[in-house]
Amino acid sequence: MGVKGVQPVSLVDYPGHICSTVFFGGCNFRCPFCHNAGLVERADTLPDENLEDVLAFLTERRHLVPAVCITGGEPTLAPELTGFIRRLKRAGLLVKLDTNGTRPEVLRALLAERLLDYVAMDVKAPPDKYGLLTGRPVDLEAIHRSINLIRTAAPAYEFRTTVVPELLTEKDILDIGRELAGSDKYVLQPFRPAHPLIDPQLELAAPCPVSFLEKVAKELRALIKTVEVRG
């Protein structure tokens, strides 16, 4: 656990805002297509950033970079997360949290305290494929609780799916869309092979065609207010 790195400026991690991105180490999933394999599998070998130094860096630059995206790994596993966000909010920063939705109790507490301005939850697969896409057994009830909580309590949010053609079909994506029907925003992200990935075989896989995602997005717009293809 702990903060393993900070990207000083990002134009893509927080919709509509320039932000800094803070990376927490550790994750309870082993998604085969994950691009942050080091943060997931070898977090304990990476040095922790000093939290006081990170907070000072972010708060000193808040007039130039007014938002922070907290990602991972899975940041809701970190015991220091709530205190860290409290201090960001006291400094007047906007906070976006990226999560896999496995810890709805943490989300509930953060939202009840009004510590989050935006939540992005990765919805990995339809229920029958969740374990395949995450590489671990999954508490699907926790996933559903997080989805419902975000839809009803988050000030702004998006759900998103990274589409790996070898693992998800058009039917799978439409099934996810039906699970998310009535939501404000759903983002489809095309898988692009890279190195290293948790599953090395996917490093040689074909990228997901954006044209395919645009076609599926068109169908999903009958169910969800905004459907976006990103990347």
pLDDT reported for residue 64: 97
CATH number for the domain whose boundaries are 3-163: 3.20.20.70
Q: Is there a contact between 81 and 107 (Cβ–Cβ < 8 Å)? A: no
155 φψ region: left (φ > 0), alpha (ψ -120 to 50), beta (else): alpha
Residues 188-224: b if buried by 16+ CB within 10 A, e if exposed: bbbbeeeeebbbeebeebeebeeebbeebbeebeebb
Q: Degrees (nearest 5) of the Cα angle 13, 16, 18?
A: 60
Q: Is there a contact between 94 and 64 (Cβ–Cβ < 8 Å)? A: no
Residue 104, CB-side half-sphere exposure with 13 Å CA sphere:
15
DSSP assignment of 56-83 equals HHHHHTTTTS-EEEEESS-GGG-TTHHH
Q: Where are the domains of the chain?
A: 3-163
Calpha distance 185→182 (Å, rounded): 9
Q: Return per-residue pLDDT of the chain as tens, 231 residues.
A: 799 999 999 999 999 999 999 999 999 999 999 988 888 888 888 899 999 999 999 999 999 999 999 999 999 999 999 999 999 999 999 999 999 999 999 999 999 999 999 999 999 999 999 999 999 999 999 999 999 999 999 999 999 999 999 999 999 999 999 999 999 999 999 999 998 899 999 999 999 999 999 999 999 999 999 999 998
Calpha distance 194→191 (Å, rounded): 9
pLDDT reported for residue 35: 86
Residue 133 is inside which H or E element, if any? helix 130-134
pLDDT reported for residue 84: 97
Q: Which of 187, 140, 189, 186 is nearest to 164 (CA)?
A: 189
pLDDT reported for residue 41: 84
pLDDT reported for residue 177: 98
- The CA-atom distances, in angstroms, between 192 and each of 97, 111, 120, 203, 204 are 23, 33, 20, 9, 10
pLDDT reported for residue 37: 83
